[in-house]
Every structure is written in C-alpha cells, then in structure tokens.
Amino acid sequence: MKEIVRIVIAMLVWLAVFSALYGLEGVGCAAGWHRIPVNGATLFQAAMTIAFFVALLILVAVLVALRAPRFRSASPFVAHISIVLAVAALIAGAWTLFPALALSHCA
Amino acid sequence: MNALARHRALSRIWSSEPGWRGVISTVNHSDIGRMFLLVATLFFLIGGVLAMLIRTQLATPHSAFVAPAIYDQIFTMHGTVMMFLFAIPLFEGAAVYLLPKLLGTRDLAYPRLSAYGFWCYVFGGLMLVFAMLAGLAPDSGWFMYPPLSSSAHSPGVNADFWLIGVTFVEVSAIAAAVEICVSILKFRAPGMSLDLMPIFAWYALVTALMILMGFPPLILGSILLELERAFGFPFFESALGGSPLLWQHLFWLFGHPEVYIIFLPAAGVISTVLPVMARTRLLGYRWIVAAAVALAFLSFGLWVHHMFATGIPHMGLAFFSAASTLVAVPTGIQIFAWLGTLWKGQPRLTLPMLYIIGFFFTFVIGGLTGVMVAIVPFDWQAHDTAFVTAHLHYVLFGGFVFPMLAGLYYWLPQFTGRKRFFRIGEMAFWLIFLGFNGAFLAMHWVGLLGQRRRIAWYPEDAGWTEINLMSSISAFIMAIGVAMVVFDIALHALLAIRGSRNPWGAGTLEWAMPTPPAAYNFASIPIVGDREPLAKDPALANKIARGEYFLGAPRGDLRETLTVDAASGRPEALVIFPGNSTLPIALAAATGAAFLGALIRVYWVIPLALLFVVGLSLRWGWSQRQATHSGLQNVGRATLLPQAIETDRSPGWWGSVFLLGADTVLYGSLFFGYAFLWTVGPNWPPPQWLSLSILELALGLIGAAAAAVGLQAAARAVSRGSPPSLGVLLALTGVAITIAALAMTLTRAGQLTDYAYGATIFVMIAYALIHAAIAAIMTSSLAYRTWRGGAARPRTSNVNIVRLWTDYAAFVAATSLIATQFSSYLT
Ligand code: HEM
Ligand SMILES: [Cu+2]
C-alpha cells in the first residue's frame, strides 16, 4: 500500500494544488480582490502569484522527498515510477498554473 | 492425486449449479465476466440501432422519419446506453473475466460482490430499456443539463429514469471498482511483485481507482437533481440561490475522467495484444505505467474544458486549456512505446493487429481534433456542433471499440478453446473501418459548416445535405460490418474446430490453462518470477496441472486461494471463498426496489426495501466461510499461512478502505457544491442563516469522539483476547448521541424548497446521519457478537472494519456540523 501511495502522491498533489488555485480564483473574484490595489498591482494578482510559487514549492518538496532515502522506495521499479511522476507533476504544475501569473484579472 | 483426479475434485468444488439456477446463483468470475460481456454487447447493439436511427433521421433535411420529441429521446439514449451500459460494463466484464487468470489466482476478491454488481447493472439497464419501449426515455441529452432537465422544462418521468437508472448502474461500477482494486493488490500469484504484474492489470488498477474518484460526483449530482425534481430543493435554480452551473461542474468532474476510464482499459488491451502480435516484449513497461497514472490524474484537471462557453473568467479557462493540451503528452508516450514495440519486433498482420492499426489511425485523428477543441477560441466556434460529435466518436470508437475488437479476436480462442476458422472477420474489419471514417470524417465537415448537434431537422439550403447523406450511408456500411462480427463470433462459438492451448504464443498466465477455462482457473497456484511466466517456462501449464505449486491438494468443499503482500507478492494468507449463493441477486433486487420506489414516487417502498438491504447485508457479513480449524493452515510446498479472516486486515478491510475512499470523494463533492454556491452562485446570501447551537455542536463532537475512542478500546481488548464489551458500549452510546445531535440540526435546516442554502445544509447533515446509522448498525452487530461469545465472538478483523466505518462516520459528523453550524459567522 505504501508503494501505491508513493506512485500516486505526486500527481495527487498536483491535482490538489491545481484545484486549490482554481478555487482561489473563484473566491478572489467573488470577493472583489481584483479591485483592491496593492503596490501597483491588485490583491488578486498578488494572491495568485504567491499561490503559484507556493504550489510549485510544494511540488518540488514532493520530488525531493521521493528521492530522499527516508521516503524512497526500496524497489527500483517503484522508485523510478514515483520520481518520474514527481517530475511530471512539477512540469504539469508549471504548465497548467502559469496563467496565474499572466492572466490575473476577473474577466 | 493425478492431474485428472485433481481436475475432477476442483471442478466439483468450484462449479456453479446446473441449469438456470446456475445463472442466478453463480459467483464465479468466469461466469459473471461472460455474462457481463454478453449483456454489454447487447447494449452495444441497442446503442448501435439507436445510432442508425439517428443517421436515418439526419440523412435528409426536414426528415419525416421521427419528430424532434422522439429524436431527443433517441440521441439521449444512444449516448447514455453507449457510455453507461456499454463501455463501462464491457471494461468491467473484461476485467472480471481476465484479471484472476492474468494474475494467477482462482477468483476475484469478493465473488458475491461481482454477482451483486452484475445484477445491479442488469436491473438498472432494464429500467432504461423499459423507459425506451414505453416511449418515456430521457430526452435532455446524455449530460442532462438543468434547467432543461429540471421539472419545469422536463415535467414527465423521463429525466427521472436517467437519474435513477444510471445511478443504480453506477452502484455496480463502484462495486466492480472496489473489487478490481483489492483483487489486483492482494490476489496475485506468489512472487508477482508490482513490477512483474501483467500490464493490463496496471491499466485496470488505474481505471478502477479512477472510477472510485470519478463516479461519486455524478452520483451526488444525480441525487441532488432528483431531490430538486421530486421535492423542489432548488440546488440548480438561480432564482433561489442555486446554480445550473453546479450541475455542469459535478457532471464533468465525472464526465471527463469517464472518457479516460473508457480509454485506459482499451490501452491496456493494446499493450497486451500488440507485443504478442509483434512477437516481442512490450517496450518501456515502466514508462507506460507512469504514463497511465499521469493520464489518470491529469484527466481530473480537465473538466472545465466542457464549459468553455459558459462565461467562466479567462484565467480559469486558461488553466483548463493548458491542462487539456498537456494530456497529449502521456498519451503520446504510450503511442510511441507501442510504435517502438512494433519496430523492435516482427509484426504479423493478424486480425487483432488489423484492429490495432485501425485504432492507431482513428485515435490519433481523434487526439488531434481534441487538441483543437482544447484551444478556447476554436472551441467557442465548434462548441455544440457536429464537429464535437465527430471528435468524440474518433476518440470513443477509435480508442475503445477498435481495441476491444482486437481484444475480442485475441482472447476468443481462450474463451472458446476453438480455432478461428471462418474468415468473415477480415471483411468485417474493412467495412467497419471504412464505414466509420466515412461517417465521421463527414461530420467534422458539416460541423465546421455550422451544423449543430442534437438537431432533428436542418434547412435544405444549408449545403449540408450531400455530406449528411454520405455520412449516413457510411454509417450503414459500418453497421453491416458490426453485424458480420456478431455473425462471425456466433459461428465460431458454435461450429469452429478445437484449437491448441496457446495459439498466439503469448507469455501471460491466462494461456497456461486448458481452454475453455475450468471454473477454478489454476489447479495449483503458480509461483511467478517473470512478467511473462509462460514464455520463460513453457512447461508451466503442465506443472500447474500436476499440482506442483500452492494449494494443489483440494480440501473438502473449500474454494481456496492465496493473498499476497501488495508490493512484493510474498504469500500472506489463505482465503476461503463463499460458495454459490442467491444472496447477491436478492440484494440487488432489494436495492433495485429502493431505486424503483424513488422513481415511481411511492416513497414508503424505500425504507422497506432498505430494511431488506440491511438484513441481507448482515446475513452476507455473517456467512463467511472458514477452514475447519483455526490457526495456521498448510497451503502446500511446506508453507503455513494464517486464514485471511484471522489476520488484522482481512479482504473486507481492504474493500472498506477503497469504498470509503469513493465515499470521501462524494462528501468532498458535496463540500465543493456548498462552497461553489456560496462563492459563485447567484443570489447569495440566503435570507436566513442557520443559527449556531452550542448544544448540538457539543453533543455531536462528544458523541463522535466517544464512538471513535470506544472502538479503539474495543480493538485493543480483542487483540488482548478479552471481550470488548466496554469499548463497544461506549461506541454505541457515542453513535447514539451523534445521531441525536444530527437529527436536531436537521430539523432546523428550515424551509427546504425556499432556498438552496437550507437544502444544502439538509443534505450535508442527512449524509452524516446516514453514516452514523451505518456505524450504529455495524457497532450493534459487533455488540451482538460480543454478547453471543464463543465462535461468534468478534475477531480483530471484524473490529477493524467496524472501526473504519465508525471513524469515518465520526469524521463526517464533526465536519458537517462545524461547516453548517458556523455558517452565519462565515459571511
Ligand atoms: C456504432 C456507431 C455509432 C454511430 C453511427 C454513432 C452516431 C452518433 C451520432 C450521429 C450522434 C449525434 C447525435 C446528434 O447530435 O444529433 C451521436 C452522439 C453520441 N454518441 Fe454515438 N455513434 C456510434 C457509436 C458510439 C459509441 C461507441 C459511443 C460511446 C462509447 C457513442 C457515444 C455517443 C455520445 C456520448 C453521443 C452524444 C449524445 C448526446 O448528444 O447526448 N457513440 N452518435
Ligand atoms: Cu473532456
């Protein structure tokens, strides 16, 4: 069972941060954050930018953890798949969440 | 004991009853699998006839064939039948039939559950067939968008048939998914570690996990929409604080993963068949497993691409557009792995190979048009046109029907033990392939010319007439091809001559048995040390038959197999399966009665039926078979193993874990709905909030904690060997207090038809209440066992299962109370 967790965890975390940013966008737009100025930008832009980097940081942490001796699988097969998927999750995070930097408005 | 005597003894133990009784009482996976495949094929033919009706209607402008009201029913039922009654059940049937044979074991984890799932499917399917024959079929499209499907715009019973019938069928999908997960993880041949599993098992595992994650949102959506239709709870009504977009979210949270739930098993078939046809091994096994897992998860981040035209903010669209383009990558990895396998091997152009080539051609086109509609501006143009229907058929037909036909012809000799003799299949392939492409290439074209989907009539001067006619003629050519396949298979099953055991020279275990397979699959359970055990040791089949491996000595009338450690494949325990039983069909009938009561709105039937469900379930749980003596059992090869039900984590515990996983997704979706209406829904806040009641909250939390602590104590007592009376008593009291607290909150949910807020609170608390009731029933049964003592006394495995369910109920009670009681403070 632990091996299955190692295999699915990275993509599961991607799904969680992806949903979280999508949810944050919904909440931010509903609460009118895009109308609150912060340092030349808006609160909404600030929140989405920070969230983007936090999300990537989490995905990097998962990758590092899966490579660390403490969490790494003893089976080379599972270790390989789990690390490939952690890299994939990181790339997926950067690619799918990139709009958080580029398009932070509520139209 | 020689091989023949062993075969006779095992056949007597494992066989189903003779005649028609065998049909209703069999729990054998080969029987159930064959029945699943047969019924799913029948539904494919029904869906196909409906497709021909569609194409007949569209062949000419202003067709006089049927009126729009009937046409609406036809295309809705075509989509519904194909998705819910054909594609998913066909996967389930293939998995149920094949998995134990591929994994080197004698049956699936829960034989009676397979039968229960099958009968739920049949009864649910019959409901929909009845609706169609009575002219009352659903008619709001296969995705049932409200407000079109709400009672104001669909007053009749039509939409209810969809909501209730499909949900009933989904019960069977969930049952099958739980079964598949546990079987793959625990019921394998000794030595088969995760990296030695046949690739189809990986795909089936990923697919089953996706069903557990993907179906609950739709089940929830259907329940909510049915509550709206039947009682006026306004979840999807904007004026009353609901939102029709909530349905779209819940539906596509299911609907997009569904597409991959359909594609992945087909990819599993290709990954199995293609290397054999190329006389080599699969290239990039590890990459394929990783790609399948990545695909599964990515597909849960795509659902909004079906809602690009609903006015969602641009950033949200961009997220989902990016994710939608990304799925092409893992799909591409698989395709390149297959091409590499072909390159490496020496392909032979057999009939299965022909269908695989058909798959490549069609699926790649479908994938490319998929990337096109993933781009938002393009989708705004193509949305709801025939271009989209053409795209989805390239993916579904190309990505599912072609591979499944390849699989059909590949495993046919395994099924029947006969040699392919008639050569109708090749001609059928060409008719299907050319017919399909003619029909749907044309639909891309009219779609780009502006023809909308789901229209019964179109104007003569639109310039679509010739294209549609061509499409319809091609569709009929394809239909002739499908009919020829059916004819070919029927001839084969009845007339073809007996063939050799492993005609393709395959290396997986399903070919290491006499064909057609015996009910017990393996006379002794082999030890596996290679991904293709049969290729490594061609004498394996004989050694298995001679009983050289595990469980080669039949005992009494016990149906025995082994469980293994999920990761390493080390043998762990001896499982004794239940025998033939009519309990599954009875339980399915009782479940069906509850659904029927909801459908015909005779609500007193529901509690009555549920009473039967509970009673039969308790009987089910109590009638576990076990060995004549407890303690370690001799499983052959000088190995002693405990019985599975005497271990801490019995198969029932594993099944509960997966089922509760699906349940958690349903609960999460409910929270999503609550948050969605709150933030995005129009007409929020509600006129009145639920006020905070410290009493209800405190009682609920204390009760939940007591239930959890009580069972923890009970588990500790049982593992010490003493009766768990005190813990069980504490748990029962805790559950009772929780139920009281939840009931008090429920009565304060307010006027449920006035506003979506109150209705949502009601559903959340009711959900918690139902789980508390389940916990109460299970804890009571534990109490009864404790009180009876002796042989009935609870074991660790019993307590652990009850603990899982009760802990979950406690968690749900606590979170739902907190989320609702504090809502007035959260504004
Ligand atoms: C046997 C060959 C098939 C033909 C000729 C065919 C034809 C069609 C046509 C013409 C439509 C469009 C109806 C309209 O927009 O008015 C349609 C819709 C659809 N088809 Fe098929 N189809 C076939 C097989 C399948 C299969 C195998 C699946 C799924 C596994 C499938 C799933 C669907 C779905 C989901 C819809 C959408 C229904 C809706 O709009 O509510 N079809 N089909
Ligand atoms: Cu989709």
Ligand 2 center–CA B255 separation, angstroms: 7
* Beta carbons within 8 Å of B411's beta carbon, 6+ residues apart: B98, B510
B405 lines ligand 1 (CB under 6 A): no
- Name the domain count of chain A: 1
Q: Please state whether B87 falls in left (phi above 0), alpha (psi between -120 and 50) or beta.
A: alpha
Range of the domain at A78: 2-102
Q: What is the mean pLDDT of residues B487-508?
A: 90
Q: Is A32 on the interface with B (CB under 8 A)?
A: no
* Ligand closest to the CA atom of residue B149: 1
Chain CA centroid to CA A16, Å: 7
Task: Find the CB nearest A29 among B289, B313, B318.
Answer: B313
Chain B residues touching residue A106 (CB < 8 angstroms): 313, 315
**Which residue's C-alpha comes closest to atom 16 of ligand 1?**
B454
SS (H, E, C) B72-103: HHHHHHHHHHHHHHHHHHHHHHHHHHHHHHHH
Chain B residues touching residue A55 (CB < 8 angstroms): none
Q: How far is B374 from chain A (nearest CA, A)?
A: 13
Q: Which residues of B56-85 are buried (b: 16+ CB within 10 A; e: fewer)?
A: bbbbbeebeebeeeebbbbbbbbbbbbbbb
Q: Is the distance from CB of B595 to CB of B587 less than 8 angstroms?
A: no
Question: Quick one: what percent of chain B has pLDDT higher than 70?
Answer: 100
Cβ within 8 Å, pair A3-B318: no
Closest CA to B524 of B496, B555, B503: B555
* Helix or strand run (H / E) with residue B562: strand B559-564
What pLDDT, on a 0 to 100 scale, did the predictor assign at position A26?
86
Q: What is the mean pLDDT of residues B720-745?
A: 95
* Beta carbons within 8 Å of B300's beta carbon, 6+ residues apart: A15, B213, B214, B253, B256, B257
Q: What is the pLDDT of residues B45-74, one digit of tens each?
A: 999 999 999 999 999 999 999 999 999 999
What pLDDT, on a 0 to 100 scale, did the predictor assign at position B752?
87
Superfamily covering domain B27-494:
Cytochrome c oxidase-like, subunit I domain (1.20.210.10)
Task: Find the CB nearest B294 among A3, A11, A31.
Answer: A11
**Which residue's C-alpha comes closest to atom 33 of ligand 1?**
B79
Q: What is the pLDDT of residues B634-683, one digit of tens each?
A: 999 999 999 998 888 999 999 999 999 999 999 999 999 999 998 888 88
What pLDDT, on a 0 to 100 scale, did the predictor assign at position A101?
87
Residue B461: exposure state from Cβ atoms within 10 A (0-12, 13-18, ≥19):
exposed
B701 lines ligand 1 (CB under 6 A): no
Domain boundaries, chain B: 27-494, 581-622, 685-825
How far is the C-alpha of B557 from the C-alpha of B550, rounded, in Å? 17
Q: pTM for this one?
A: 0.96
Ligand 2 center–CA B351 separation, angstroms: 31
Query: What are the residues facing B71 on neighbouring strands?
Result: none
List of long-range contacts for B680-683, beta carbons under 8 Å, 24+ apart? B680/A26, B680/A30, B680/B243, B680/B245, B681/B238, B681/B241, B681/B242, B681/B243, B681/B246, B681/B756, B682/B238, B682/B241, B682/B243, B683/B238, B683/B239, B683/B240, B683/B241
What pLDDT, on a 0 to 100 scale, did the predictor assign at position A104?
67
B756 lines ligand 1 (CB under 6 A): no
Tell me how far apart the terminal alpha carbons of chain A are, to the nearest angstrom: 44
How far is the C-alpha of B361 from the C-alpha of B430, rounded, in Å? 13
User: Which residue of B56, B82, B482 sits with most ligand 1 atoms within 8 Å of its CB, as the best mutation to test the pocket?
Assistant: B82
Chain A residues touching residue B322 (CB < 8 angstroms): 95-99
How many C-beta atoms surround the C-beta of residue B7 within 10 A? 18
- Give DSSP secondary structure letters for B25-66: H---HHHHHHHHHHHHHHHHHHHHHHHHHHHHHHTSTT-SSS
Q: Is the distance from CB of B302 to CB of B368 less than 8 angstroms?
A: no
Q: What is the pLDDT of residues B73-130, one digit of tens each?
A: 999 999 999 999 999 999 999 999 999 999 999 999 999 999 999 999 999 999 999 9
**Which residue's C-alpha comes closest to atom 20 of ligand 1?**
B79
Helices (H), B402-464: 402-416, 424-448
Name the 3-class secondary structure at B634: strand
Q: What is the pLDDT of residues B216-225, one digit of tens each?
A: 999 999 999 9
How far is the C-alpha of B140 from the C-alpha of B153, rounded, in Å? 10
Chain A residues touching residue B676 (CB < 8 angstroms): 26
- Give DSSP secondary structure letters for B652-666: HHHHHHHHHHHHHHH
What pLDDT, on a 0 to 100 scale, did the predictor assign at position B750?
79
How far is the C-alpha of B464 from the C-alpha of B450, rounded, in Å? 9
B398 lines ligand 1 (CB under 6 A): no
B215 lines ligand 1 (CB under 6 A): no
How far is the C-alpha of B660 from the C-alpha of B180, rounded, in Å? 15
Scanning the structure block, which residue is given the tokens 């679509």?
Answer: B464
The Cα angle at residue B201 between residues B543 and B34, in degrees rounded to 5: 80
Q: What is the pLDDT of residues B568-626, one digit of tens each?
A: 999 999 999 999 999 999 999 999 999 999 999 999 999 999 999 999 999 988 877 77
What pLDDT, on a 0 to 100 scale, did the predictor assign at position B827?
64
* Ligand closest to the CA atom of residue B387: 1
B391 lines ligand 1 (CB under 6 A): no
B81 lines ligand 1 (CB under 6 A): no
B393 lines ligand 1 (CB under 6 A): yes
How far is the C-alpha of B563 from the C-alpha of B556, rounded, in Å? 20
Chain A residues touching residue B668 (CB < 8 angstroms): none
Chain A residues touching residue B286 (CB < 8 angstroms): 77, 80-81, 84
Which residues in chain A show pLDDT less than 70? 104, 107
Whole-Å CA distances, B651 to B116, B179, B582: 17, 10, 21
Helices (H), B680-693: none
How far is the C-alpha of B344 from the C-alpha of B280, rounded, in Å? 7
User: Which residue of B75, B85, B262 sits with most ligand 1 atoms within 8 Å of its CB, as the best mutation to test the pocket?
Assistant: B75
Q: How far is A26 from chain B (nearest CA, A)?
A: 7
Closest CA to B150 of B69, B258, B242, B215: B242
Residue B388's pLDDT band (cuts 50, 70, 90):
very high
* Beta carbons within 8 Å of B67's beta carbon, 6+ residues apart: B456
Ligand 2 center–CA B266 separation, angstroms: 17
Residue B768: exposure state from Cβ atoms within 10 A (0-12, 13-18, ≥19):
buried
Average pLDDT along chain B: 94
Closest CA to B522 of B509, B533, B535, B532: B509
Q: What residue ranges in B439-514 does DSSP mark as E strands? A: none
Size (chain A), residues: 107
Quote ipTM for the complex.
0.96
Q: Which residues of B662-676 are buried (b: 16+ CB within 10 A; e: fewer)?
A: bbbbbbebbebbbeb
Cβ within 8 Å, pair B315-A3: no
Cβ within 8 Å, pair B185-A2: no
B82 lines ligand 1 (CB under 6 A): yes
What pLDDT, on a 0 to 100 scale, did the predictor assign at position B122?
97
How far is the C-alpha of B130 from the C-alpha of B486, rounded, in Å? 24
The Cα angle at residue B55 between residues B51 and B61, in degrees rounded to 5: 150
- Write out the CATH class of domain B685-825: mainly alpha
Q: What is the mean pLDDT of residues B677-704?
A: 90
Chain A residues touching residue B298 (CB < 8 angstroms): 11, 92
Chain B interface residues (partner A, CB cutoff 8 A): 185, 193-195, 209, 286-287, 289-290, 293-294, 296-298, 300-301, 304, 313-316, 318-319, 322-323, 326, 330, 566-567, 675-676, 679-680
How far is the C-alpha of B26 from the C-alpha of B580, rounded, in Å? 5
What pLDDT, on a 0 to 100 scale, did the predictor assign at position B21?
93
